[in-house]
Structure 1
């Protein structure tokens, strides 16, 4: 049986009740997303609460974070993880469907590690299906919701498969959201990117594209990956 929790330097994430466990995608999203000057942050599909807690660790002391999760069991575990963390007063876990979520406040930063398998075979686990497949929240619905909740000068950052990046950019442009930063992730030397992180804003400007190699060999991490994650991982 896999470990029921993942220990970081300043907090612990229990994930035994969640369909999607702590993984590299979430860690990259939490470490790479800019939260400079952000006072209101929204995490769409928080799962274990990992990304919300990572952003709480390095955001402003008065930054408030709302973490949305549709699955009741996952939302409960995320609340437990937040309660055990140093930032329980700043992070609110809300169990709701993002498509019906409303807020009187606009958010400076919105992040999402969304369901990522499109038109693929579904696995028999209902909870895992909802977390992995975008049938329950399409990219169109996600971006429409983000466009309505994002502050005028805010940023939206997402981690997605490389092969849907162009499609997501096209959908975003319809909502007047434009890619300004992109990080293509390579997991081994000579490999091709399978995941990418993209930051969108309402300001249409040139997109700065970079690459990140995570591992030089099995469990031998690159200097760039260590620099990005050392404030979180115990052994970095």
Structure 2
């Protein structure tokens, strides 16, 4: 049986009630997303609350974070995880379907680690399907909703499979969202990117593309990955 929780330096994330466990995708999203001088953050599909808590750790002390989640069990777990942290007054866990979600405020930063198995065979576990497939929230619906909630000078950062990155960037143009920053994640030396993080904004400018190697050998993190995540991982 896998460990029911993951211990970080400043907080603990329990994930035994959630279909999607703590993983590298979420950690990368939480560590790479820029949060300087932001006041209002939205985490779409927060799951355990991992990314919301990572952003709370390094964002300004008056930043408010809405952690949005549709699954009832995940909402319960995220609330339990948040209340055990120093940022419980700054992170609000909200149970809602993003497609119907509305806010009177615009967000400076929006993040999402969305369902990513497109058109693939579903497993019998419905909770896991909702977390891992995009049937309940398509990329089109995600981008449309983000465009309506993002501040004029805000930024939306998402982590997705590398093979859908170009499609997503083209799709985003429909809502005047432009890729301005991209991180291609490589898991082993010489390998092709498996995951991509992309930051979108309404500002049409040249996209800065970088690469990150996570491991130089099995269970041996690269210096660049350590530098990115050292404020979070317990043993770095």
Q: TM-score, normalised by structure 2?
A: 1.00
Q: Deviations over 1:116-146 (max 9, x none)?
A: 0000000110000000000000000000000
> 1:127 matched to which residue of 2?
127
Unaligned residue ranges in structure 1 (runs of 5+): none
Q: How does 1:1-236 map to 2 (within 5 A)?
A: 1-236=1-236
Aligned pairs, number? 236
C-alpha distance in 1, partners of 2:139/2:50?
Answer: 21
CA–CA separation in structure 2 for the residues paired with 1:215 and 1:170: 30
CA positional deviation for 1:170 = 1.1
- Structure 1 length-normalised TM: 1.00
Structure 1 runs, 4 residues or longer, greater than 4 Å off: none
Q: Partner of 1:98: helix, strand, or coil?
A: coil
SS at match of 1:181: strand
* Alignment RMSD (CA, Å): 0.3
- CA distance in 2 between counterparts of 1:58 and 1:214 reads 21
User: Helix, strand or coil for the counterpart of 1:158?
Assistant: strand
Summarize deviations over 1:164-191 as a string: whole Å, max 9, x none: 0111111111100000000000000111
What's the secondary structure of 2:26's corresponding residue?
helix
Q: Aligned partners of 1:37 and 1:49: how far apart in 2? A: 21
